[in-house]
A = this chain, B = another copy of it.
Amino acid sequence: MAKHLEVEIKRLNKRILDIGDIVVEAIHKALTGLQDRDPNLAREVLDLDRRIDRAEVEVEEECLKVLALHQPVAEDLRFIAAVMKINNDLERMGDEAVNISEHAIFLGKSDPIPVPTRLHDMAVASMRMVKESLESFVNGDNQSARRICIEDDIVDEYNREVIDEVWKMMKSNPATIERGSHLFSVSRHLERIADHATNIAEDVVYMVEGKIIRHRAESYSHQKDSTS
């Protein structure tokens, strides 16, 4: 690999990890803001998202520059293609964290209702998936990446449990319907964050194995967004 290209690839690796850290912080703050009914945290999530947005634009421009200047082939080309897609998924995770914050702000202004503990579990699992998917990316570890695709099923299961719990609350007390539907939304945004982490893991498998595992049901039992 040409020296310059090697430097660029290291730099892009680092940038993706940095964005990942901000994304995890945003998810954490969004959920804490919901649980603690703290609107200041929601505002912090908005600031973090702006940083993610700026970083995404910069990384995309860097990728195009690398493609134009170094004209990478084979695995280097697959690496750049993966960075472009991962970058996009991270940016959308930031948007999902903002969406969660918006629901947190609404719920913080309303009479309190119980927040299902499974929402917390979903957030923890999603943050873990984001971290692990990015680690598998920088380490080129396709085995870990394949495990992450399976972890997504756990988040889907939690999502079903949240939906059941909130439905019961709504049915027993129709006054909670509006607030309950905000909890549904939070759950679905967390589920989408896990979906994006799964996309990243799939990109890692492709990058390492040169094989597209998306849409191949036999490779793992993940099915996108089937319950929401």
Whether A185 lies near B228 (C-beta < 8 A) is yes
Whether B171 lies near A167 (C-beta < 8 A) is no
**What B residues does A167 contact at CB under 8 A?**
177-178, 181
Residue A68 CB within 8 A of the other chain: yes
Instruction: Return the CB mask of A148-173 against B: 1 if under 8 Å, else 0.
Output: 00000000000000010001001100
Residue A35 CB within 8 A of the other chain: no
Given contacts A99-B225, A177-B170, contact A215 B57 (CB under 8 A): yes
The smallest beta-carbon distance between A131 and chain B, in angstroms, is: 23
The smallest beta-carbon distance between A42 and chain B, in angstroms, is: 13
A window 57-108: CB within 8 A of B: 57, 60-61, 63-64, 67-68, 71, 73-74, 77-78, 81, 84-85, 88, 95, 99, 102
**What B residues does A68 contact at CB under 8 A?**
73-74, 77
**What B residues does A77 contact at CB under 8 A?**
64, 67-68
Interface size class of A (residues with CB under 8 A): 35 or more
Given contacts A102-B226, A171-B174, contact A81 B53 (CB under 8 A): no
Top 4 A-B residue pairs of the complex, sorted by shortest distance between their CB atoms: A53-B215, A71-B71, A174-B174, A68-B73
Chain A residues within 8 Å of B, Cβ to Cβ: 50, 53-54, 56-57, 60-61, 63-64, 67-68, 71, 73-74, 77-78, 81, 84-85, 88, 95, 99, 102, 163, 167, 170-171, 174, 177-178, 181, 184-185, 188, 212, 214-215, 224-226, 228
With A57-B214, A188-B188 given, can you name 11 additional A-B contacts, CB distance below 8 Å? A53-B215, A54-B215, A61-B212, A67-B77, A84-B85, A88-B88, A95-B225, A99-B228, A170-B177, A177-B177, A181-B184
